[in-house]
Amino acid sequence: MKSNKIENIDTKNNENLPVRTCLACRDKKEKKNLFRISKFENKYIFDATNKIQARGVYICKKISCIEKFSKNKKYNIEKEELIKMIDIIKKNKKENQINFYIDIKKCVFGIKIVREKVWNKEVKLTVIASDITEKNMDKIINDCKQKAVKYVVSENKERLGRIFGKNEISVIGILDENLANSLMKSLGGVPVEST
């Protein structure tokens, strides 16, 4: 059987980040921000580890998308599988509540100021929303690489905004080392340390 196992995500080269479409809402997102549903022994199950070597479909980590998907007769997914996904969402929500206590005085927001602070090496971690323009993505990643600043591409503008109590955020510069470390963990991103 031909292997279509998940490829290694190389965060250093953002253009290669695999993007998939949510079957429920048709939003395009990075693969790692979606749940994978795979066919296994003739039925569709939640592929929590992304390792089932079969064709998979993807849905957002959102209750509304899971609900919509549950009504899709073609996949006819069992309730237990849906619950597994919902439990993960609930867990993530809890983590977001922790994120709510982020001291925003230790952060700078927006492309211009973040780039400035990266160049001054004041930024310990750059958090980049996955849905900013390719041009800006390249600029910021290049800056981080040149200045050996860690960066992570995580979440979309809307969700980053929610975490930081703002509307939409395209990029955040974390100025504090401890906050950078804990944030990296809760965002579940893979830090890239440039050399």
Q: What tokens were used for 121? A: 């090496």
Q: Which of 119, 120, 141, 121 has its CA nearest to residue 130? A: 141
Q: At its nearest, how many Å lie between Zn ion and the CB of residue 65?
A: 3
Of residues 24 and 118, the one with the C-beta less far from Zn ion: 24
**Binding status of residue 57 toward Zn ion by CB under 5 A:** no
CB-CB contact of 138 with 151 (8 Å):
no
Give the DSSP H/E element, type plus range, for residue 173. strand 171-174
- Distance, in Å, from the CA atom of 50 to the CA atom of 6, rounded to the nearest integer, reads 7
Q: Least distance from C-beta 76 to Zn ion, angstroms? A: 19
Q: Report residue 179: phi and psi, to 5°.
A: -65, -40
Nearest approach, Cβ of residue 23 and Zn ion (Å):
8
Task: Return the residue of 11, 14, 20, 24 that touches Zn ion, per CB under 5 A.
Answer: 24
Min CB(77)–Zn ion separation in Å: 15
Which amino acid, one-letter code, is at 40? F
Contact status: 60 vs Zn ion (CB under 5 A): yes
Q: Which range in 48-56, 59-67, 155-163, 173-181 contacts Zn ion by CB under 5 A?
A: 59-67
Please tell me the distance from the alpha carbon of residue 16 to that of residue 25, in angstroms, as a whole number.
Answer: 23
Question: Looking at 12-20, 23-31, 38-46, 82-90, which segment touches Zn ion (CB under 5 A)?
Answer: 23-31
Stretch binding Zn ion (CB under 5 A), from 4-12, 54-62, 149-157, 158-166:
54-62
List the one residue from 37, 65, 85, 140 that touches Zn ion (CB under 5 A).
65
Token pair belonging to 159: 């969700």
25 interacts with Zn ion by CB under 5 A = yes
What is the rounded CA–CA span in Å between residue 136 and residue 171? 10
For binding to Zn ion (CB under 5 A), which residues are involved?
A: 22, 24-25, 27, 60, 65
